[in-house]
C-alpha cells in the first residue's frame, strides 16, 4: 500500500539538518506534477552501519515483516511505494551486513544512490564513533551523485533520559560537521520510522524531478524520471542481490 505525501515532511531536529530551511517542494516540482509532466520517480536508498545496530529491522518495519534476524547475509532489498503530489515514487531501500567480510561489495552497492542512511545504536556510544567511517566510505563511492546523508540513532526507547540527551548532542555536532541530517527511532515501538522514510522519499523526489526538468527538452515533453539513478534491477533475484559470497569469490 502506498503512503501519500502531499506536503513536505519536516526534519526531526531543525538544528541538525542541512535542509532545515526547506519547508516545501520546489515550485517547479509542484508545477510539473500538477500538469502531469512527471511519469514516475525511482529513488535508491542504501543503509550502512555496524553489525547489529538494527539496520535490517528498521528497513523491514517498512514492509511489516515481524522476523528479527541478528544479521544480514549478502544484500537485501525492500521496495516502498509512495504517492507524492499525486505522482508515484518507487523507493528501493538496500541493506547489507555491517560485518567486515561484506565490505568488498560496496562499490556496486552504492552505485546510483540518492540517499545514505547510517544507523547506530543510541545505547552504545561507541557506535557513534564509527558513523564517521561509514559516511566517509559512502562519499568515497558517490562523489559524482552526492546523495543526502541521514544519521539514524536506533533503540531510543531503551535509553535513559540523561544518556540520550548526551549522545543526542554529540550526534547533532557530528551531523553538523559532516553535513548530515539526524534522526532518532525505535524498532520496538516504531517511533519516527515512518516519518524518517517519508522525509527521505520527499527529498529524493524533489531533487529527482528538478534534475529531469533541467535536462528535459524545450518542447514540453513529459519528464521521465523512472530510470533515475542507474539502478540495475536485473541484478535482483527475489529481493536478494545476485552477488557471490566475497569469501568464495576471492582468488586462490
What are the grid coordinates assigned to 228, written together?
A: 533515475
The CA-based dihedral angle spanning residues 139, 142, 146, 148, taken in that order and rounded to the nearest 10 degrees: -70
| C-beta neighbour count of 24 within 10 angstroms | 11
pLDDT-derived band at 220, boundaries 50, 70, 90:
low
Widest Cα–Cα separation across the chain: 59
What's the whole-number average pLDDT of the chain? 82
Residues 6+ apart with CB under 8 A from 5: 82, 83, 84, 85, 198, 201, 202, 205
CB 159 within 8 A of CB 123: yes
Q: How far is CA 111 from the centre of its chain?
A: 13
Mean pLDDT score, 238-244: 36
pLDDT, tens digit (0-9, with 9 covering 90-100), for 2-58: 899 999 999 999 999 999 989 999 999 999 999 998 888 999 999 999 988 999 899
| C-beta neighbour count of 75 within 10 angstroms | 21
pLDDT, tens digit (0-9, with 9 covering 90-100), for 170-194: 999 999 999 999 999 999 999 999 9
pLDDT, tens digit (0-9, with 9 covering 90-100), for 83-139: 999 999 999 999 876 555 556 666 778 889 999 999 999 999 888 999 999 999 999
- 68 versus 115: the higher-pLDDT residue is 115
Q: What is the pLDDT of residue 34?
A: 93
What are the grid coordinates assigned to 112, written together?
A: 546510483
Residues of the chain with pLDDT > 70: what percent? 76
- 74 versus 121: the higher-pLDDT residue is 121
| C-beta neighbour count of 95 within 10 angstroms | 25
**Domain boundary assignment for the chain:** 3-9+41-221
| C-beta neighbour count of 52 within 10 angstroms | 15
CB 62 within 8 A of CB 190: no
Decide if pLDDT at 149 tops 90.
yes
Q: What is the pTM of this model?
A: 0.83
> Which CATH number describes the domain made up of 3-9+41-221?
3.40.50.300
Q: What is the pLDDT of residue 73?
A: 54
Decide if pLDDT at 164 tops 90.
yes
Residue with cell 506536503: 7
Residues 6+ apart with CB under 8 A from 189: 157
Amino acid at each position: 500500500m502506498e503512503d501519500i505525501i502531499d506536503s513536505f515532511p519536516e526534519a526531526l531536529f531543525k538544528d541538525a539538518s542541512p535542509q532545515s530551511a526547506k519547508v516545501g517542494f520546489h515550485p517547479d516540482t509542484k508545477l510539473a506534477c500538477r500538469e502531469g509532466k512527471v511519469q514516475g520517480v525511482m529513488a535508491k536508498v542504501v543503509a550502512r552501519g555496524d553489525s547489529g545496530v538494527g539496520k535490517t529491522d528498521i528497513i523491514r518495519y517498512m514492509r511489516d515483516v515481524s522476523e528479527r534476524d541478528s544479521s544480514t547475509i549478502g544484500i537485501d532489498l525492500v521496495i516502498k511505494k509512495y504517492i507524492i503530489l499525486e505522482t508515484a515514487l518507487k523507493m528501493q531501500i538496500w541493506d547489507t551486513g555491517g560485518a567486515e567480510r561484506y565490505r568488498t561489495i560496496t562499490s556496486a552497492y552504492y552505485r546510483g544512490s540518492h540517499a545514505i542512511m547510517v544507523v547506530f545504536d543510541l545505547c552504545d556510544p561507541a557506535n557513534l564513533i564509527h558513523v564517521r567511517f561509514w559516511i566517509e566510505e559512502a562519499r568515497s563511492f558517490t562523489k559524482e551523485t552526492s546523495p543526502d546523508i541521514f544519521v539514524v540513532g536506533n533503540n531510543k526507547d531503551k535509553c535513559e533520559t540523561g544518556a540520550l540527551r548526551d549522545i543526542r548532542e554529540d550526534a547533532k555536532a557530528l551531523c553538523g560537521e559532516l553535513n548530515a541530517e539526524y534522526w532518532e527511532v525505535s524498532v520496538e515501538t516504531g517511533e519516527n520510522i515512518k516519518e524518517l522514510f517519508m522525509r527521505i522519499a520527499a527529498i529524493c523526489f524533489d531533487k529527482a524531478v528538478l534534475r529531469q526538468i533541467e535536462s528535459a527538452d524545450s518542447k514540453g515533453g513529459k519528464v521521465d524520471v523512472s530510470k533515475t539513478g542507474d539502478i540495475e534491477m536485473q541484478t535482483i533475484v527475489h529481493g536478494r542481490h545476485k552477488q557471490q559470497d566475497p569469501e568464495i569469490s576471492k582468488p586462490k
